[in-house]
Amino acid sequence: MGVGHIKVGTASSRFAAWIASGFILVAIFLPFVAGRSLLQDLFFIFSMLVLTQWWNLLAGYGGLVSVGQQAFVGIGAYAMFGSVILGNVDPVVSILIAGFAAFVLSVPTAFLAFRLHGAYFAIGTWVIAEVMRLGVAQWKAVGGGTGTSLPRSATRDMWFVDGISVLFDVKTSAARDILAYWLSLFLMVTTIAVIYWFLRTRRGLALFAVRDNSQAAQSVGINDFISKLIVYFMAAFGTGLAGGLIYLQKARISPDSAFSVLDWTAYVIFIVVIGGIGTLEGPIVGVLVFFLLQSLLSDFGSWYLMTLGVIGIAVMLFAPKGLWGLFTERTGMELFPTRRQLVIPEKET
Amino acid sequence: MIWLETLIQGILLGGLYALFAAGLSLVFGIMRLVNLAHGDLIVVGAYMILIIVSILGINPFVATFIAAPGMFALGWLLQRFVLNRTLGDDILPPLLVTFGLSIALQNALLEGFSADSQRINAGALETASIPVGSLSIGIMPLLTFATAILVIFGLNQIIFRTALGRAFRATSDDPITASLMGIRPSSVFAIVTGLAMLVAIIAALYLGMRASFDPSIGPVRLIYAFEAVIIGGLGSLWGTLLGGIIIGVAQTFGAAINPEWQILAGHLAFLAVLLLRPRGLLPRAVD
């Protein structure tokens, strides 16, 4: 008998890696040919993809169904505004501060939320986000309950903007869009890479084991508490970064929008569910479907949201693995394989 | 003296929150189902009462009785054909389906009734009050609190004194053994949700008479209700009332100090209880 070895990659994943590299290369050079509105659309898609990947890691892999991720979007956004307005920090640097602020705040939050399980966790995280929204509304220096705008001087003198403006021969406002686009592309690619890397480590494997059969996992001594904690902190950091970036581009903030459960959690949940929860490909498919639906139907306002709710219910009831799950069932293709396969060489005769 | 008045107001406000929460507590306690659309279903109930009152021109209390069978049917159908499919060990499906339902209901109401604030007119009852010593207590809050006690007492009678209640408890403890005894869990659950909707329409009546409402207020009511359920402890309806009172008292005291702190104080009280007693104050069942 030959000794087997473990492999994770598949033919389709190697193909996907080439496609992804090609996509990233095209995306980097896209601002040279693309117009402003396309870049803005892609910024929206990339930043939503960051949020959805983190929520998917929490709920789909970690079993932590949070309804309070808007807390970290909001805290990130406000940390960014606070450091720009009060500390005169460059906005590009302040995005990093946004991530760290969300991470720091996620420590006491985790202390509270990890005492809760299942539905209690969901409601608990929601209440914590509400507490933060109401708390930030008391912070008069950044506009209190009505919110404020980024000072023009800060956004005009932002790092790289002058260089981009000269390089592309465009106005500074267009240069800001290009910068935001690049940052969102970078954040999106890093997010997916980090999550994929984490899922293939032992800590990630612990999550799979507990998710697939928690009793069997416990019987071989797997403690997934640390894995879940790491996932929670990473998600807070990543969500905070995205929050800072999104509000750098919006340049206007208020507690109700930055801590909006609809924008930063409800949409995110629908995207993940429709695309396919518990896979890395699902959120990508979901965010594209979501963007299409939004471009086609957003003029219909409440009809659009009603449709989205009904689609979410239908997918959860009839195709709980989402669109990507249906596709994988038919084709067996995985672009980001995380399953370990045992390969045993055939016996020599 | 002002503090005593604040305390009484808070306790009575707790009655309203207990009414929001009682149906949620019932469903959660018996089938571990988290209905994130509960707040929106209460708002649906309030619009049902509003329509009946404005068409027939009758007293809102009578209108509630007319709306009640419809509300029961809504809950029964919802559980029988949608929510029963989501039950299981995995908590994701019920959370996500009811979350989708919440968004769909809010926007359906928005489409049907616009975003304008509405109110159910209760006539002289709205402002009436009775003097107690040097204080004056509003009839409406008092009536709300009395109704909450009556509803919880009634639900407990059903759960612990009737054959139906025995079926509830048996199915909650062990659906497989219960079905061996000739109980169909799916039918039992449908009745439970129907019953929860009967409580919801009563909550809707007081919601609509005491303050104005619009299609978007469901989720906030849901949060208060959930806080009351969690503070009280899983499966205990009297605990839910206690939880509602704690939220209510915290909110009125917060508001007495600074009006902007009303909601915040309620949430902080909830988080404090969670920190000290994560399973709630009077837990009956094990999660």
Distance from CA of B7 to the nearest CA of A (A): 23
Report the pLDDT value the prediction gives residue A298, as an integer from 0 to 100: 77
To which residue do tokens 């302040």 refer? A94
> Are B274 and A112 a contacting pair, CB within 8 Å?
yes
Which of B44, B95, B240 is best to mutate for the A interface (most A CBs within 10 A)? B95
Q: Do B260 and A138 touch (CB under 8 A)?
A: yes
3-state helix, strand, coil in chain B (%, to 5): 75, 5, 20
Mean pLDDT of chain A: 89
- CB contacts of B96 in chain A (<8 Å) are 269, 273, 312, 316
Q: Give burial (CB, 10 Å; 0-12/13-18/19+) of B182.
A: exposed
Query: From start to end of chain B, where are the E strands?
Result: 129-132, 135-138
Which residue, A18, A95, A48, is CA-closest to A274? Answer: A48
Give the three-state DSSP class for A312. helix
Average pLDDT over residues A113-139: 89
Which residue, B96, B43, B95, is CA-closest to B74? Answer: B43
Q: Give burial (CB, 10 Å; 0-12/13-18/19+) of A317.
A: middle
CATH of B8-111+137-276, one of 2.60.40, 1.10.1060, 1.10.10, 1.10.3470: 1.10.3470
d(C-alpha A42, C-alpha A73), whole Å: 19
Average pLDDT over residues A249-276: 92
Which of A306, A308, A311, A318 is best to mutate for the B interface (most B CBs within 10 A)? A306
Query: How is A170-236 classified by DSSP, letter by letter?
Result: --HHHHHHHHHHHHHHHHHHHHHHHHHHHHTSHHHHHHHHHHH-HHHHHHTT---HHHHHHHHHHHH
d(C-alpha A74, C-alpha A147), whole Å: 12
Nearest to B104 among A67, A131, A306 (CB): A306
Question: How many C-beta atoms lie closer than 10 Å to residue A262's C-beta?
Answer: 15
Q: Where are the domains of chain B?
A: 8-111+137-276
Interface residues of chain B, partner chain A, Cβ below 8 Å: 28, 32, 34, 36, 82, 85-86, 91-93, 95-97, 99-108, 110-111, 219, 223, 226-227, 230, 260, 263-264, 267-268, 270-271, 274-275, 278, 287
- pLDDT above 80 (res A47): yes
Higher pLDDT, B221 or A172: B221
d(C-alpha B188, C-alpha B174), whole Å: 13
Average pLDDT over residues A134-144: 89
The residue type of B165 is: G
Tens digit of pLDDT for each residue in B251-280? 999 999 998 899 999 999 999 998 888 888
Which band of pLDDT confidence, cut at 50, 70 and 90, is reported for residue B11?
very high
Q: Where are the domains of chain A?
A: 5-343
> Are B248 and B228 a contacting pair, CB within 8 Å?
no
Which band of pLDDT confidence, cut at 50, 70 and 90, is reported for residue B159?
very high
Report the pLDDT value the prediction gives residue A156, as an integer from 0 to 100: 74
Q: Do A120 and B267 touch (CB under 8 A)?
A: no
* pLDDT > 70: percent of chain A: 98
d(C-alpha B94, C-alpha B100), whole Å: 10
* pLDDT > 90: percent of chain B: 68
ipTM over 0.85: yes
- pLDDT above 70 (res A348): no
d(C-alpha A63, C-alpha A214), whole Å: 11
